Structure formats: C-alpha cells, structure tokens
Structure 1
Amino acid sequence: MTADLFRLDGQVALVTGASSGIGQASAIELARAGADVVVNFHSSQDGAKETVAGVEALGRRAVAVKADVSQEAEIAALFDACEREFRSPDIVMSNAGLQRDAAIADMTIEDWNTVIGVNLTGAFLVGREAIRRFRAKGMRAEVSRALGKLVFDSSVHQVIPWAGRVNYAASKGGLALLMQSLAQEVANEKIRVNAVAPGAIATRINADERRDNEAKMLELIPYGRIGDPADVGRVVAWMVSDAADYLVGQTVTVDGGMTLYPSFRGNG
C-alpha cells in the first residue's frame, strides 16, 4: 500500500458523464492522484477526447466509452469495457446528470421521467454494477484499504427545495437516501459509499443562468464566488483515497456556504 494516503497509484477509476464539467474535472483530479480512468460519455465524444487528453497529460492511461447510464445493458457494457481495457474498477464516480426545467403546471411526464431516469435510476444502475464488480474483483490491499469506493454526484438541492425544477430536486433527494442505504448495506464488506453535493459550479448546465443572473447567484454564496469544477474534483479525489478511509455513508457539501442560507443573516 502506498505510504501517501492521498495517492491513488495502481487504481482504476470509472467516471460517468466525464466529458465536461464536474465529471471531467473529477476524472482529471483522480488521474492527478495516480489513477487510470475510464471516461464515460453519452453525446459529446469531443468532450470525452478532451478529458482523455487531460488524463494522459498527467502520465496516466485513459479510454473513452460511450454509454447511456439510464440503460441497464449499456451500464453492464461500460463496466465490461473497463475490464477489457484495464481491469475491474477500484473507484466509481456516478456523475452523469441533467436538468429539464419547467414550472409544475407545464412539466411533462417526459421531463419528469428523463431526469429521474438519468439522475436517480442511472445512479442506481451504476451503483449496483459497481458493487457487483467490486465483489468480483476482491480486495487489493496493496493499493487500497477498501474493497471499492463509490461516490455519487448529488447537489445542494438534495436538501434545498427548488421551485421550477421539482424533477431535479426529487432526483437528488432520492439520491441521498440511495447512497445512505447502499452504504448501510455494504460497508461491512469494506465498500465505501459516499456522495458529493456541489452548490453553484461553473458548468454548461448553468451557463445561461450565470450569464443572466450571476449577481443574484452570488447573493446565495457566502464565500463570494461561483465554484470551479476542479473544486469538486479535488474533494472527490480525497474522498476515494485512503486518507478518507473512515468516511462512509456521508455527503460532503462543496458549496461556498450556500446551504448556510445566507438570506437568513440578521435573523432573516
């Protein structure tokens, strides 16, 4: 086992939705810590190639694999590709997610099902397959104290209601209990399951809102800046390292203080 508890040398990481934003940054930070990375993407092959290049620039190996996380067969194929290219993963980050925003009276069943299908059902499928592969792989004590490390990308909206986006908030609220329930079930096998909950992070998903309402967004962030994807990626790299070996069933919130509800300063 490496003497540096923060290092991930000799490990394989699989990151879903890794062609941009938090997924891309997490893949690169995992590589910076020493892991080889399977870069999953759904639509942006160019983005996935960019992530692969970023990983390889750090001296690690990477491969891009297309898969829709809401489809059971494609998830199995994604993990099969990981095993063919490298071996079974030691680290899995379930990151893929999307939004389909609408006021409740205008939200279609397609809007609802699409978001729940990717954000929550997709997380279930990735998490289930990760646990199966961790068990089949067995312990590799020379590289990690844990049998496997699974991290879900949640959101501050697992606790903060979000009008006009009930599908997204519901998916993240469900994800919180999915994570905790899995952690409760498999922790005795030395499988560590946790989640990261970003606040306002500068990604494609919120580019229009940042452009039109940045000043208003900053009012919600006590620390005074919108986060960078790497702010989250660095936390993820720590969470899956042996330095965080006793972190089990927890959500680490990375939000510049948004969940402190700054509008209530001065007693509201």
Structure 2
Amino acid sequence: MDAPRGTALFDLSGRTALVTGSSQGIGRALAQGLAEAGATVVVHGRDAAKAERAAAEIAESTGRETHVALFDVTDAAAVDAGIADVEARLGTPDILVNNAGIQRRNPIADFTDEDWHDLVATNLTSAFLLSRRVARGMIARGSGRIVSIGSVQSQLARPSIAPYSATKGAIVMLTKGLCADLAPHGISVNALAPGYFATELTQPLVDDPAFSAWVAGRTPAGRWGRVDDLVGTLVFLSSDASAFVHGQTIFVDGGMTAVV
C-alpha cells in the first residue's frame, strides 16, 4: 500500500489517543481536536462526572468513539493499572499526550515543600510514568507517538513560578532523552510548548487588565492564545506528517520566545 500523501498524512483514523487531564481546559481542546482528525480518544481525569461529560460531548460533536480513563497520574501503581485497563479495551494507545499539569505561585523564599513536590509529581513525574508504561506496548508494536505539553516557561522565567519553570524545563530534556531511547523503535517523542492561553485556570489573569495588556504587548501576535490554536500542531505531531520529527519542542506562543 502506498504511503499517505497530502492531507492524508494528517488523518488519525484507526488510531487511539490517550490525553491526560483532558476533562477541561487545554486537554479538553486537544482531545476534541484529535477526535476531529479521526482518532478514538480516551478522555482522562480523576473526576468521573467531568471526564464522562467531556467524552460524551466529544462523541456527540465528532461522531467518533470515545472512552474514559480514571487514575492518578502521579502514582506508579495507579498508572500501571490505568494503562492496563485501557489496553484491555483498546490495545496500547497509538498516541499519548502528557497534558496533566498544575501551577503554584509564591516567591521562592516562601515556596513550600508541599507545593514543590506537587508540581514535580504532576508536571514531570506523571510524564515519566505514563511514557514508561505506554512505551512498553509501543516498543512491542514498533510504532507510537508521545507528545508532552511544555510551556514558554521552559525558556522564559517570571517571578513566583521558579519551580513550575523547572518542571517545564525538565519536560524539554525528558523529551530529548525519550527520543534517544524510543526513536529506534519507531516511536516519535516531541513536546508542544504553549505560550499564554486563555483557559478556565487562567481566567483570573485574562480578566486582569494590566496583565492582559502585558501579554498583548509581550506577544508579537498581540493576544492571548486560544486553545484551538494548539490543535493543528498536536495533530501534526501525532500523525504521519511528523514521521521524521523526533525530540523537538515546538513553541505555540504567538512569537513570545522569538523576541526580546
């Protein structure tokens, strides 16, 4: 059979995608976009009602099959059990999107041990645990796509979020390291790094006139990102169109990291 060409390179029909933290916010938009590109999507969360509602909405709007997975991404045993359940239903996912993440803000002198450990566990350890577990099935199959969600804060620092920046910087290097291990097995590993995006979690900042003015002035595109702005890059990284793209972090930030 001939290799896909043109727009067919972006077709995800027949593939399954697990998006962690996808019951709301950026993860919800990413799951929707993958379904619209043809994938069978597994919506993940810890709140069953929210995850099931998101999955039902995606299925209704796209006509695609959707599933729900409920487990703690920071706990190795829970990840193992959660992926085993997904594999029993659908096989090893073709696409893993490590999206689950949190933010904590405080000046570094006041930053608590608990907040540090929560950030590392949710933003970094989860990506390691999910990638390690899913990679086993991907290696056996000889194919797969892993995309981790980074941030402009992997390159740019701001006051009060040093630990968050550390976790996102680590995602860049975890992506490179996973590439070294997994590319020989036909698995591509990349990261997608958003700039400032308007979501439920950032709404207080969006509503702050001074902060929104700063975002608009600091971003060459002159605005906050919209969650739909991330979908095209994710579909690219999840599809045959990116078959020779390995170990890269692609910034979707309106140009913020391109300018001083």
Superimposed CA distance per residue, residues 1-44 of structure 1 (whole angstroms, 9 cap, x where no aligned partner): 77311101110101100011111111111111111011111247
Between Structure 1 and Structure 2, the one with more helix by share is 2
Superposed CA RMSD: 1.5
- How many Å separate the matches in 2 of 1:219 and 1:245? 36
Pick aligned residue for 2:111 from 91, 107, 110 = 107
Superimposed CA distance per residue, residues 195-227 of structure 1 (whole angstroms, 9 cap, x where no aligned partner): 000001111221111111211221111101211
Pick aligned residue for 2:242 from 217, 236, 244 = 244
Aligned amino acid, residue 164 of structure 1: S
Match of 2:222? 224
> Shift of residue 130 of structure 1?
1.7
Match of 1:62? 66
Question: Do the aligned partners of 2:16 and 2:90 also contact (CA within 8 Å) in 1?
Answer: yes
Q: Do structure 1's residue 83 and structure 2's residue 79 form an aligned pair?
A: no
- Structure 1 residues 48 and 153, CA gap change in structure 2 (3 angstroms): farther
Gaps of 5+ in 2: none
> Shift of residue 73 of structure 1?
1.2
| Secondary structure of 2:146 counterpart | strand
Aligned counterparts, 1:142-153, within 5 A: 147-153=143-149
Match of 2:30? 26
Q: Which segment drifts farther, 27-36 or 204-213?
A: 204-213
| Secondary structure of 2:110 counterpart | coil
- How many Å separate the matches in 1 of 2:187 and 2:52? 28
- How many Å separate the matches in 2 of 1:47 and 1:221? 33
Q: Do structure 1's residue 15 and structure 2's residue 19 form an aligned pair?
A: yes
Pick aligned residue for 2:179 from 157, 178, 183 = 183
- Structure 1 residues 39 and 68, CA gap change in structure 2 (3 angstroms): same
- How many Å separate the matches in 1 of 2:86 and 2:228? 24
Match of 1:214? 212
Aligned length: 254
> Shift of residue 47 of structure 1?
5.0
Match of 1:255? 253
Question: Do the aligned partners of 1:55 and 1:62 also contact (CA within 8 Å) in 2?
Answer: yes
Q: Do structure 1's residue 162 and structure 2's residue 158 form an aligned pair?
A: yes
| Secondary structure of 2:93 counterpart | coil
Match of 1:130? 134
Q: Do structure 1's residue 71 and structure 2's residue 67 form an aligned pair?
A: no
Aligned amino acid, residue 63 of structure 2: G
Superimposed CA distance per residue, residues 97-137 of structure 1 (whole angstroms, 9 cap, x where no aligned partner): 0011111111100010000110011111011112112123x
Match of 1:143? none
Pick aligned residue for 1:46 from 46, 50, 55 = 50
> Shift of residue 82 of structure 1?
1.4
Match of 1:144? none
Gaps of 5+ in 1: 140-146
The share of aligned pairs that are identical, in percent, is 37
Q: TM-score, length-normalised on structure 1? A: 0.90
Pick aligned residue for 1:172 from 138, 153, 168 = 168
| Secondary structure of 1:253 counterpart | strand
Q: TM-score, length-normalised on structure 2? A: 0.93
Pick aligned residue for 1:199 from 195, 198, 206 = 195
| Secondary structure of 1:204 counterpart | coil
Question: Do the aligned partners of 1:210 and 1:217 also contact (CA within 8 Å) in 2?
Answer: no
| Secondary structure of 1:39 counterpart | strand
- How many Å separate the matches in 1 of 2:126 and 2:158? 21
